[in-house]
Structure 1
Amino acid sequence: MARKPDKRPPQLKIAAELRAKIMSGELEPGAKLPSTAELAETYAAAPATAHNATKLLQAEGFVYGQAGRGVFVRDRRPFVVRTAAYFDPSERGVTYKLLNVAEVQAPLDVATELGEDHAILRHRLMLRDEEPVEVSWSYYPLSLVGGSTLARRGRVPGGAPAVLTELGYPELEFADRLSVRPPTVEEAEILELPEGIPVFRQFRVVYSEDARPVEVSILIKGGHLYELMYRQLIPGPESK
């Protein structure tokens, strides 16, 4: 079957090719990009188009320019976000900023998973080196956590898992649905996203015993500079 031609503007195509090489490691941190003239020749484009492509990558943080020397690949690898249900931020150089805690009418998809309409929302921004990484909305069943420390503003020692365990509902399993889409205005502003950057959307349901849903979180991350890591044991032949 014939492929449909890529109708994106030429600068986006060039930026996409270079971005893929950077993320794969083919262009290593510190490597100098080809000159504007070389890029223009390689991709059969006008010099201005090649220049615009590198400007896009600079805005995204993939490369940086040095006057009189050229454009170089950033000197850091993509930040790998491990997809554990919970981690202690202090162990990873990551901090959280609590944006809001409130009793809310849960969004339809959240209410469907929780099995009830009202929830306690904890809205947070995750930062790394003071740069925004992820904005999240975590919902907990009001019938379960109403009156607990999860329903109050402020830091929760041990996080939600500690509170839920005390309530008799330890977090045992989670399931993610992952999608990619353009950001909303709020997401683009709070994550300080360059123009044109999509976001990862993780819709996570955390379960306790008897498959009881105890948390639903919507996690939004910029689709540049970050990677998600999933790890799962594969059962051996004897367990199949």
Structure 2
Amino acid sequence: MTETPEEETVWPVQDQIAAYLRDGILNGDFPPGKALPSSRKLHDQFGAAAQTIKNAMEILEREGLVYTRRGAGVFAREHRQRTMTPAEYKNPPTDGGKYQWITAAERKGSSGRAELLDVEEVVPPHLVREAFGLDSEGTAILRRQVLHLDDQPCELVEVYFPIELARGTPIAEKRRIKGGAGRVLAEAGLPTLRCVDKVAARWPTPQQQKALKMPTKLPVLRQFRVTYSVDDRPIQAEFMIKAGHLYELEYEF
């Protein structure tokens, strides 16, 4: 049946409660160590049964946002949401060393690493073909990797490169590249000069959910970036998929 404009899609009550509390925890309205609203208050607010409220708390516990003290209630945990600044990570390291996001993480007391999953020639998605000016059968080199912070998967990265730029270079080989693919392109006379980002919320695909070890049904942040070089030539296009409950993006204008 087609939904009329007046009708609303109603989430299960346990998901409504979890969303309300999750938002409060991540925004700081329920700081670490603070007791969450009691079952009675949540019942009065949502009209929820005790089991429904318990289900909501179990969702948040699986996400690592709350903990229970027997006889005392449920409390907000020190949450792990991190602020990422993508604009700072667009250029390869000048010394060919660590990725900039790893260096930034280490400055904040965390450890970062990249796990290379695949390198292959593929027919890329529509957005990439559009950026590269490819037809429906045009191919590109794909490098897929998972980024980890403190040994927890934080981002699935799928980077596409035009065939004519990548073929015959380390970019097309299944191995890690010191300083990243951006260093290879820069040394070939194609430095990063401009990036265009598009950020959207999506439900994760099964592949994304598995790679990021998503604990519950949660959205991801999908960041699509096209990088341009000399003469405004597109040199790479990438999808960066982040767990939405763990990360926020910060841009300064």
TM-score range, shorter-chain basis? 0.7 to 0.9
- CA deviation after TM superposition for structure 1 residue 89, in Å: 4.1
Partner of residue 217, structure 1:
238
| Residue 26 of structure 1: how far off its partner (Å) | 0.9
Q: CA deviation at 1:6?
A: 5.7
Unpaired runs of 5+ in structure 2? 92-98, 106-110
Residues 179 and 202 of structure 1 are in contact (CA less than 8 Å); yes or no, is this contact kept in structure 2? yes
**Aligned partners of 2:155, 2:162: CA distance in 1, in Å?**
23
Instruction: Note the 1:134-153 alignment, pairs <5 A.
Output: 134-153=155-174
* Distance in 2 of aligned mates of 1:128 and 1:150: 24
C-alpha distance in structure 2 between counterparts of 1:143 and 1:193, whole Å: 36
Alignment match, 1:108? 126
CA-to-partner distance for each residue in 1:5-30, whole Å, 9 max, x for gaps? 56212111111111111111111122
* Mapping for residues 55-94 of structure 1, pairs under 5 Å: 55-84=58-87, 85-86=90-91, 87-91=99-103, 92=105, 93-94=111-112
AA at the equivalent of 1:221: K
TM-score normalized by structure 1?
A: 0.88
**Alignment map for 1:27-66 (pairs within 5 Å):** 27-66=30-69
1:13 aligns with 2:16: yes
When normalised by structure 2's length, the TM-score is 0.84
Equivalent positions of 1:92-171 (< 5 A) are 92=105, 93-116=111-134, 117-171=138-192
**Higher mean displacement: 2-11 or 104-113:** 2-11
Cα deviation code 1:175-194 (max 9, x no counterpart): 11122121111111111113
- Please report how far the alpha carbon of residue 52 of structure 1 lies from its aligned counterpart in structure 2 after TM superposition: 1.4
Long gaps (5+) in structure 1: 233-240
More off after superposition, 205-214 vs 54-63: 54-63
Partner of 2:94: none
- The superposition leaves residues 74-126 of structure 1 with CA deviations (integer Å, 9 ceiling, x where unpaired) of 21341112213254243112211000112222223212211242221110001
Shift of 1:61: 2.1
Q: Is the 8 A contact 2:146 2:154 kept in 1?
A: yes
Q: Which moved more, 1:60-69 or 1:179-188?
A: 60-69
**Count of aligned positions:** 231
1:179 aligns with 2:191: no
Deviation of 1:53 after TM superposition, in Å, equals: 1.4
- C-alpha displacement at 1:174, in angstroms? 0.7
What is the letter of the counterpart of residue 168 of structure 2?
G
The amino acid across from 1:43 in the alignment is F
Separation (CA, whole Å) in 1 of partners of 2:165 and 2:71: 62
